[in-house]
Amino acid sequence: RKEVEQDPGPFNVPEGATVAFNCTYSNSASQSFFWYRQDCRKEPKLLMSVYSSGNEDGRFTAQLNRASQYISLLIRDSKLSDSATYLCVVKNTGGFKTIFGAGTRLFVKA
Amino acid sequence: DADVTQTPRNRITKTGKRIMLECSQTKGHDRMYWYRQDPGLGLRLIYYSFDVKDINKGEISDGYSVSRQAQAKFSLSLESAIPNQTALYFCATSDFSLPGGRSYNEQFFGPGTRLTVL
């Protein structure tokens, strides 16, 4: 079983739609959680950290459920520019072992 | 100018050749990392370094070696390249910060090196 699992997609949604991605992790001792965004043939970039109480950044909302060991990302009012691969990232005890999920591809269409 | 740079950006080589990928950063970060990315597998850590005198193996270090020449430079070598080392390679840096901040251990990636081993 992979340490971090994501649905690879692709998710094809129209502009303006709301889309949600989930990610599960296997290590209950994981401490820190992030969503990164990766555009085609580009480097990953941090989208947002995920806090225990949930957090929002504009149209993006991240949630953490430690009991069920999953993280979610909700994108509201999707834009064409949101088309990318979204990587779920988990940092384990000690803070130096960072596990990247394989990513979920999103296509937003006009 | 980019904060994390990688050279070369693309490389095609033959089985058995020695290859060096270079990474430089101007962010002043102590921590540097080398990852490879393969379709469907996500990023996997090859080596990481927390300062110039610290080198650690990641989950897939076999067939690779690294050198931390200075705080700003971290090189990855393939001593004898093989076809299954064909991948996209990323260098990344991070700084240490207290948890709770948005940039807690955020990693900053270079643009990647696409390596093909024939």
**3 state DSSP class of A32:** strand
Q: b vs e for B80-103, b when ≥16 Cβ sit within 10 Å of the residue's Cβ?
A: ebeeebbbbbbbbbbeeeeeeeee
Contacts 24+ apart (CB under 8 A), A40-43: A40/A84, A40/A85, A41/B112, A42/B111, A42/B112, A43/B90, A43/B109, A43/B110, A43/B111, A43/B112
The model's confidence at residue B21, banded by pLDDT at 50, 70 and 90, is very high
Q: How far is A59 from chain B (nearest CA, A)?
A: 17
The model's confidence at residue A4, banded by pLDDT at 50, 70 and 90, is very high
Give the rounded percent of residues in chain B with a pLDDT score beyond 90: 80
Note the pLDDT of residue B6. 98
pLDDT value at A69 more than 80: yes
Note the pLDDT of residue B39. 85
Which one of A3, A25, A43 would you mutate to disrupt binding with B, by most B Cβ within 10 Å of its Cβ? A43
Q: Which residue has the tokens 């991605």?
A: A21
pLDDT in tens, B34-49: 999 998 888 999 999 9
Note the pLDDT of residue A29. 84
Chain A residue numbers with beta carbons less than 8 Å from the beta carbon of B30 are none
- Whether residue B20 contacts residue B5, with contact meaning beta carbons closer than 8 Å, is answered with no
pLDDT in tens, B60-108: 999 999 999 999 999 999 999 999 999 999 999 998 765 555 445 689 9
CA distance A97 to A92: 6
Is A42 close to B112, i.e. CB distance below 8 A?
A: yes
Q: How far is B112 from chain A (nearest CA, A)?
A: 6
Note the pLDDT of residue A1. 72
Mean pLDDT for A47-56 is 90
